[in-house]
A = this chain, B = another copy of it.
């Protein structure tokens, strides 16, 4: 799941996890913020370090997929090249979900208070402010969060996952 900070990735992933569990699918959430506290604790927010962070997430997702576990990866993953790398690592099971919340809405919510800090120049390399976000051109799923509840968004993704599993087993 790609999208700006505050777009709703983690919220939707959490709702999706619940739906998957109800339907007896096993899944693991790999969350960008968690990675930053864990395996990627030393990495910065430059595009190079964001790519390294996404590389680690994708490698981990690959292990999960090889073990028949669904990996829900919530990462800003701001550029085409980062997403392509993740796709190449994970392979056919990769499914790009674009959580398309306009920056004005994310900034208005500012759940973590990061946008105001970025605007004030207190944090650097912030996606959408002084670091790029390339909108996905052909995501497998695009979600407009403004017209739907997180649960509705999650149900949409669940249908796609279900179709994929149904077609490939």
Residues of A whose CB lies within 8 Å of any CB of B are: 26-30, 34, 38-39, 55-56, 59-60, 62-64, 67, 69, 89
Which residues of chain B have C-beta atoms less than 8 A from A67's C-beta? 27-29
The complex places the Cα of A67 from the Cα of B64 at a distance, in Å, of 12
Question: Which of B28, B29, B38, B59 makes the CB contact (< 8 A) with A39?
Answer: B59
Q: Chain B residue with minimal CB distance to A56?
A: B39
Which residues of chain B have C-beta atoms less than 8 A from A56's C-beta? 39, 56
Q: Could you say how many copies of this chain the assembly holds?
A: 2
CB distance from A54 to the nearest CB of B (A): 11
The complex places the Cα of A58 from the Cα of B150 at a distance, in Å, of 31
Q: Chain B residue with minimal CB distance to A21?
A: B68
The complex places the Cα of A55 from the Cα of B62 at a distance, in Å, of 18
Which residues of chain B have C-beta atoms less than 8 A from A60's C-beta? 39, 60, 63
Q: Chain B residue with minimal CB distance to A55?
A: B39
Q: Are the C-beta atoms of B62 and A28 separated by less than 8 Å?
A: no
Q: Chain B residue with minimal CB distance to A34?
A: B63
CB distance from A151 to the nearest CB of B (A): 20
CB distance from A60 to the nearest CB of B (A): 5
Q: Are the C-beta atoms of B26 and A38 separated by less than 8 Å?
A: no
Question: Which of B28, B39, B55, B89 makes the CB contact (< 8 A) with A69?
Answer: B28
Q: Chain B residue with minimal CB distance to A69?
A: B28
The complex places the Cα of A59 from the Cα of B29 at a distance, in Å, of 13
Which residues of chain B have C-beta atoms less than 8 A from A62's C-beta? 38
CB distance from A61 to the nearest CB of B (A): 10
Q: Are the C-beta atoms of B38 and A69 separated by less than 8 Å?
A: no
CB distance from A45 to the nearest CB of B (A): 19
